[in-house]
């Protein structure tokens, strides 16, 4: 068990996953495997085919969380507010220069020039994973395993735009054992929720883990609610 986690850590280090995020993922994985061991289950019971290749499992998980596959500069989740203000000022200054140039040349120019930054300084922006449910409206529990009395046909996930600004686009990634699903919503209005229903894939182990995550958007300051995990046990 510990060797599997260590292999994942080595792969995350190779992929340059930030240490704090790698520690968080390793802690989640360790808790999943320890719980499975206490229940008498194997690594395969929790991770399915992912148990046979820890490096591939680690790489896929990092990619699903949006950590790898991008330039280092793209991984900065929270650009400083000062930088945003400086950018807005620079854009306004550039616009003023254009207006002055047009005035000197005698060419017609607009009466006003407004530059609106994509992120309003001080505004709240971001998405979150809300919950996961199976029929008939049974919520999967966070922090402990949910033991279902019967195998559900599908699972419904809810994620939300929890901020006061439009998110365009919004991304949701769901991993059910070794199965991965990705969804993109072109535009989410402020304080709205979106439900995604997924048919439960066949061939799942009796005990498995579900993970859902939304990709942080530029300017998002609270990323603690961008991911959630649920441990599920199906009836024998």
Question: What CATH number is given to the structural domain containing 221?
Answer: 2.60.40.10
Threshold 0.85, pTM exceeds: no
Co-location of 28 and 98 in the same domain? no
Q: Which residue is listed with tokens 């919520």? A: 139
Domain that holds residue 63: 1-75
- Alpha-carbon gap, residue 129 to 57, rounded angstroms: 22
Question: What per-residue confidence (pLDDT) applies to 184?
Answer: 92
Beta-carbon count within 10 A of 11 CB: 20
- 41, 131: one domain: no
Is 169:196 a contact under the CB 8 Å cutoff? no
- State whether 207 and 106 are in the same domain: no
Average pLDDT, the chain: 75
pLDDT tens column, 187-208: 899 889 999 999 998 888 888 9
Same domain, 91 and 136: no
With a cut of 50, say whether residue 173 has pLDDT above it: yes
The domain tally of the chain equals 3
Query: Do 91 and 108 lie in a common domain?
Result: yes
137 shares its domain with 215 = yes
- Given 3-state DSSP classes, what are the helix, strand and coil percentages for the chain, each rounded to the nearest 5? 35, 25, 40
Highest mean pLDDT: which range of 84-93, 111-120, 212-221: 212-221
Q: Are residues 228 and 162 in the same domain?
A: yes
pLDDT at 49: 64
Report the alpha-carbon distance of residue 20 to residue 65 in Å, rounded: 14
Residue 86 has pLDDT above 80, yes or no: no
Do residues 145 and 35 lie in contact, with contact meaning Cβ atoms separated by under 8 Å? yes
Peptide bond into 136 cis (omega under 30): yes
Query: Percentage of the chain with pLDDT > 70?
Result: 70
Query: Are 154 and 96 within one domain?
Result: no
Per-residue confidence (pLDDT) for residue 129, from 0 to 100 = 93
Domain final residue pick, 75, 106, 140? 75
In degrees, to the nearest 5, what angle opens at C-alpha 11 toward C-alphas 6 and 17?
A: 110
Residue matched to tokens 């005698």 = 106
Tokens describing residue 98 = 């254009």
What is the rounded distance in angstroms from the CA atom of residue 109 to the CA atom of residue 107? 6
Among 48, 75, 102, the domain-final residue is 75
pLDDT of residue 78 exceeding 80: no
Domain end (from 121, 153, 177) = 121
Question: Are 13 and 112 contained in the same domain?
Answer: no
């Amino acid at each position: 068990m510990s060797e599997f986690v260590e292999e994942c850590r080595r792969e995350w280090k190779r992929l340059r996953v930030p240490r704090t995020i790698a520690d968080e993922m390793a802690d989640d994985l360790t808790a999943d495997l320890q719980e499975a061991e206490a229940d008498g289950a194997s690594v395969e019971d929790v991770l399915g085919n992912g148990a046979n290749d820890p490096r591939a499992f680690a790489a896929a998980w990092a990619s699903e969380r949006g950590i790898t596959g991008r330039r280092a500069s793209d991984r900065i989740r929270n650009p400083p507010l000062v930088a945003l203000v400086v950018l807005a000022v620079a854009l306004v200054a550039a616009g003023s220069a254009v207006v002055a140039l047009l005035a000197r040349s005698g060419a017609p120019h607009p009466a006003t020039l407004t530059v609106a930054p994509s992120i309003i300084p001080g505004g709240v922006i971001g998405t979150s994973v809300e919950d996961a449910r199976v029929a008939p409206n049974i919520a999967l529990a966070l922090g402990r395993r949910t033991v279902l009395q019967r195998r559900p046909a599908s699972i419904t996930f809810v994620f939300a735009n929890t901020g006061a600004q439009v998110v365009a686009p919004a991304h949701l990634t769901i991993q059910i054992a070794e199965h991965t699903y990705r969804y993109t919503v072109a535009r989410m209005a402020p304080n709205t929720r979106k439900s995604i229903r997924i048919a439960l894939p066949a061939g799942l182990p009796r005990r498995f883990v579900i993970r859902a995550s939304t990709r942080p958007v530029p300017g998002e300051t609270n990323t603690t609610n961008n991911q959630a995990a649920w441990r599920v046990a199906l009836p024998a």
